[in-house]
Amino acid sequence: MTPFRIGHGYDLHRLAEGRKLILGGVEINHDRGLIGHSDADCLIHALADSMFGALALPDIGHHFPDDDPTCKDMDSQVILEKAAKECKAAKYGIANIDLTLVAEEPKLSPHLEKIRNNLSQILLIDAYQIGLKATTNESIGYIGRKEAIAAFSVCLLQKED
Ligand SMILES: [Zn+2]
């Protein structure tokens, strides 16, 4: 068994009025939120997919189908807990995670510390093991037109003794 396994995840959700904006399990005050079957937390979805990917498991859509009524408006922290459980079952721990959010607005930098701390609490790891950055799309394309928010994740798992 290799001592390290790397995974990558990507997710995007559309922005719409009348929805809460939740990123990394943290509610962010904004006039619009992300649309999806669950709470549409694209950061957690990308992160969970990078963890499933590192384990060579199917993506979150397999574990939490979007036509499953029990997943409707579900808290995505449940998805992250499931990914953490799978890592534990395979006897891998998280070495580190690197996350990038791409959003034209709202300004995410004031929220990054809270999101990082929340993710570290769910995953039972140190906040130092999580890199979290936010960038804009320079007003270009659907993200630049404020129609969507996207997230990228890379996760390195380390075999536990
Ligand atoms: Zn998603």
| CA separation for the pair 29, 35 (Å, rounded) | 16
Q: Which residues surround ligand 1, an ion (CB under 5 A)?
A: 11, 45
**pLDDT tens digits, residue range 54-108?**
999 999 988 888 888 888 888 999 999 999 999 999 999 999 999 999 999 999 9
Q: Provide the mean pLDDT of the chain.
A: 96
Distance 1 CA to ligand 1 centre (A): 31
| CA separation for the pair 133, 58 (Å, rounded) | 26
Domain ranges for the chain, please list them.
Answer: 4-159
Distance 117 CA to ligand 1 centre (A): 21
* CATH for 4-159, options being 3.30.360.10, 1.10.167.10, 3.30.1330.50, 3.40.50.300: 3.30.1330.50
DSSP string, the chain: --SEEEEEEEEEEEEEETS-EEETTEEE--SEEE-SSS---HHHHHHHHHHHHHTT---HHHHS-TT-GGGTT--THHHHHHHHHHHHHTTEEEEEEEEEEE-SSS--GGGHHHHHHHHHHHHTS-GGGEEEEEE--TT-HHHHTTSEEEEEEEEEEEE--
Selected residue with higher pLDDT from 125 and 66: 125
Distance 48 CA to ligand 1 centre (A): 10
Distance 161 CA to ligand 1 centre (A): 33
State pTM to two decimals.
Answer: 0.97
pLDDT tier, 36 (very low <50, low <70, confident <90, very high otherwise) = very high
